[in-house]
Amino acid sequence: MSSSSPSPSSAPEIVCVGETMALITPVGGALVAAETATVGLAGAESNVTAGITAAGHRAAWASRLGDDPLGDRILSELSRRGVELWVERDADAPTGVMFKDPGAEGSTVYYYRRGSAAATMAPGFLSPGRLAGVRIVHTTGITPALSDSCLRMVDQLFVDARAAGAAVSFDVNDRRPLWSREHAAATLARLADAADITFVGRDEAERIWGTATPADIRAFLPNCALLVVKDGDVGATAFAHGAEPVFVPAPVVDVVEPVGAGDAFASGFLAATLEERPLAERLAAGHAAAARVLVTHADMPPIV
């Protein structure tokens, strides 16, 4: 196993923690018939990291990868985008793989990530000492769904981030294929309510918790210091303690593909948070970042 990270004395502003997989997408048809495919990468947390880096901030992605060519490819692409890499390589566990199967009604995804290197992350993966100087630690609801050790790692990460003086950011990001609805609903509610900043889609909240409106979600998650409810092409609402809710409508966009837009929104919002901008401006920055991804087939912003 090998590892690399910046020294705590030169810490990035934000660290995003979670799995990135190799993404296999067939060309010219469905998986069952296509003869060629492209190889890319897929990972909510690395998408957010890349977006924050593109916005001009120092951001690190922390995870584990197999010591294999797919892991090399992921590191090469993220490094090319200026992402700082806090990555352990594992010779005994592989890099996860995701297949996308395009269809007339949308894409279906197939995960091959059980037993992946990232799924072996465990408590203490990032210590308070390693996080010294970091302002925000971000993760998502995908990470605790990967394994029992990842769930324990996320619980400890909340504690260790705060011990290091960082705020905890959490995007609910429910992934139905990864765990049961019952387990997901309870765990995601607990983590979302405990975070300093939480992002959740209105539709996913209704699906897993039965909360129909942004106000219902706020009532369900009363302890989160800053709750951001995204409602697709309607807009987004921010709920902060001691303040009236702030709503900013979404811009009109000719959508090419919605995949990655939620991660882009989080990256725009968090970049504006690092700049200490007002809530309305943070929401607008989130919408602008999402729009840049919605008009392409890519999950990440273009390199400029």
Active-site entry in 171, 174, 263, 299: 263
Quick one: tokens of 298? Answer: 């890519």
Amino acid letter at 6? P
Active-site annotation holds for 263: yes
What b/e string do you get for 87-109 counting C-beta neighbours within 10 Å, with b at 16 or more?
Answer: bbbbeebbbbbbbbbbeeeeeee
Residue ranges of alpha helices (H) inside 55-139 are: 69-80
Are 145 and 19 within 8 A, CB to CB?
no
Measured CA to CA, the distance from residue 93 to residue 130 in angstroms comes to 24
Are 121 and 148 within 8 A, CB to CB?
no
Q: Identify the bridge partners of residue 2 per DSSP, sorted by sequence position.
A: 89
Tokens 């996308």 belong to residue: 100
Angle at alpha carbon of residue 74, lines to 262 and 142, rounded to 5°:
40
Catalytic machinery residues: 263
